[in-house]
Amino acid sequence: MESKNNVTLEKVFSLLCASPSWVILTHQKPDGDAVGSASSLAAYGMENGKKIRWGGGNPLPPTYSFLPLSETYEVFNRAEDLLPLSKDTLIISLDTSNIERSIPELEKIHNDAQIINIDHHGDNTLYGDYNYIDENASSLGEILWHMFHLCNASYSCNSAIGLYTAIVTDSGKFSFSSTSPRTHEAAAELIKKGVLPAEISHKIFYNQPIESMKLWGKAFERVELAGHSKISVSWLTLEDFLQLNSSPADTEGLVNELLRVKDVEFAILLVEEEDQIRISLRSRGVISARDIAHRFEGGGHMQAAGCRIEVPLSQAIQIIIKAVEEAMQ
Is the model more confident about 230 or about 110?
230
Whole-angstrom Cα distance, residue 93 to residue 20? 17
Q: How confident is the model at residue 228 (pLDDT cuts 50, 70, 90)?
A: very high
Whole-angstrom Cα distance, residue 329 to residue 327? 6
Whole-angstrom Cα distance, residue 187 to residue 181? 10
The SS3 of residue 113 is coil
- Render pLDDT for 266-283 as a digit per residue (tens, 0 to 9): 999 999 999 999 999 999
* Confidence check: pLDDT of 75 > 70: yes
Structural domains present in the chain: 9-205 (3.90.1640.10), 210-328 (3.10.310.30)
* Confidence check: pLDDT of 2 > 60: no
The answer to whether 127 and 99 have CB atoms below 8 angstroms apart is: yes
Name the percent of the chain lying above pLDDT 90. Answer: 93
In angstroms, the Cα distances linking 162 to 36, 202, 311 are: 4, 15, 37
* Confidence check: pLDDT of 172 > 70: yes
Calculate mean pLDDT across residues 39-57: 98
- Render pLDDT for 190-216 as a digit per residue (tens, 0 to 9): 999 999 999 999 999 999 899 999 999
- Render pLDDT for 237-266 as a digit per residue (tens, 0 to 9): 999 999 999 988 899 999 999 999 999 999
* Confidence check: pLDDT of 86 > 70: yes
Q: How confident is the model at residue 87 (pLDDT cuts 50, 70, 90)?
A: confident
* Confidence check: pLDDT of 314 > 50: yes
* Confidence check: pLDDT of 20 > 60: yes
* Confidence check: pLDDT of 108 > 80: yes
Predicted pLDDT of residue 4: 60
The answer to whether 82 and 23 have CB atoms below 8 angstroms apart is: yes
Predicted pLDDT of residue 121: 95
Q: How confident is the model at residue 72 (pLDDT cuts 50, 70, 90)?
A: very high
* Confidence check: pLDDT of 120 > 70: yes
Q: What angle do CA 174, 175, 179 make, to 5 degrees?
A: 60
